[in-house]
Amino acid sequence: MALGIPSVYYHQSDIRLPFMLRQAAQYSPDFPRCKEYEYQRIDDIVRDIEESGTSLCD
């Protein structure tokens, strides 16, 4: 995030991300394109990446 590189964080729905990662994009314009997604199973992540492709970080 500090380098301005687009970041995508996946976490299980029953797990909370550390404070600095939770919705980081809303806290500062210094963290553009930082997204978080919840998942139930690893298959959900694979499907999301396959469907989104490079637009995942847009």
pTM of the predicted protein model = 0.67
Q: Which helix (H) or strand (E) holds 12?
A: strand 7-12
Q: What is the pLDDT of residue 19?
A: 75
Q: What is the pLDDT of residues 2-57, one digit of tens each?
A: 677 778 888 888 888 887 777 665 666 655 677 788 899 999 999 998 998 878 76
What are the angstrom distances between the C-alpha of 18 and each of 5, 47, 48, 50? 19, 25, 23, 27
Q: Would the pLDDT of 1 be above 70? A: no
Q: What is the pLDDT of residue 26?
A: 63
